[in-house]
Structure 1
């Protein structure tokens, strides 16, 4: 059976650099059973300029051995207040990733994995892929935060109606408090280990901002 690699680009959000400048970033959700990926489920946020950078680097690294899919064209009249333009761009970005993930050659590129499964900046992705950091690509991916999701249909559901592990609603209490207590204890232990490691390693935690 062919491995499953599903990717969604969703949830556009306006970010402000300062009072005068703003941009939009998008959530990239990946769900896969492919051995090519360190994580089987991941969620990161990227902006359009980072997609442009990724395509350029993938083209350089592939040495023109593969025809890369196109990104949605740059629009000089693109507006952060135009919902249709944002939707069209979002769909174009998703199509780009879907097509790129079908290429075995591109799947072997570390930059693609860092782009999809870490929130490292462009400069740090380049350094990591080139081996100029004290952490590996796999470590960068593993240190990225995870937000659980299941399928495209689940993404469209009203989160207020769901009772998954991300919900803090009192109405979503499970029948097994002991299991929840054990899960909390495990999470606390992991957090303590992460805290100890921060004094020795560069911070790789995901933030919602892209640089």
Structure 2
């Protein structure tokens, strides 16, 4: 019987590295009945550079046995205020994930599961997959919280809604949360107001540990 793996890339949000440098991250929503996943419904946030890292690591780990699909190209003129460019990048990222999730070999890679179902940084994903952390891959995945989808009914409601919905996204916590990063994100929220055009309350609720 065919197994379902559905993935969405949506809800771009602006983050601040510091006062001068900002970037976008995107929500990755996954719903599956595949035996390859212990967690059937999940939602995490990742940025473009993490997709680039994932593709490189998957290619290395597969030892060139699989030809990985391409990511949307890095655009030197990419603008955080250009809605069309952002939409095109999101579509490209989603297509990339949809294609790699069709490969049984790639589905066996722990890094892919950590990327999709934990909010670990790139260095910690690598360490966890190599067994160099005090938590296992399964523990990192299970510890990742989920607030968007609480049941399959919630998922069906989401599927029937427009992808333009701006409902609150889930946030996952690194097993070793970095309080200093969280504090920096909150401190930067005032500067984000003018760029995002959203309320301060929404920005503070979206503080993320992603890197």
How does the TM-score come out when normalised to structure 2? Answer: 0.76
Query: What is the deviation of 1:159?
Result: 6.6
The equivalent of 1:14 in structure 2 is 14
Distance 1:119 1:157, change over 3 A: closer
SS at match of 1:65: coil
Query: What is the deviation of 1:97?
Result: 0.1
Question: Can you give the 5+ residue segments of structure 1 that lack an aligned partner in the other structure?
Answer: 167-200
User: Partners of 1:13 and 1:143 in 2: how far apart?
Assistant: 23
The equivalent of 2:159 in structure 1 is 153
The count of residues paired between Structure 1 and Structure 2 equals 173
Superposition map of 1:41-190 within 5 A:
41-146=41-146, 147-148=148-149, 149-151=154-156, 153-156=159-162
How does the TM-score come out when normalised to structure 1? Answer: 0.76
Query: What is the deviation of 1:40?
Result: 0.1
Question: Can you give the 5+ residue segments of structure 2 that lack an aligned partner in the other structure?
Answer: 169-173, 179-206
Deviating more after overlay: 37-46 vs 145-154: 145-154
User: Partners of 1:157 and 1:45 in 2: how far apart?
Assistant: 16
Contact 2:177 2:209 (C-alpha < 8 Å) held by counterparts: no
Q: RMSD of the alignment, in Å?
A: 2.4
Contact 2:68 2:100 (C-alpha < 8 Å) held by counterparts: yes
Task: Choose 1 or 2 for highest CA Rg.
Answer: 1
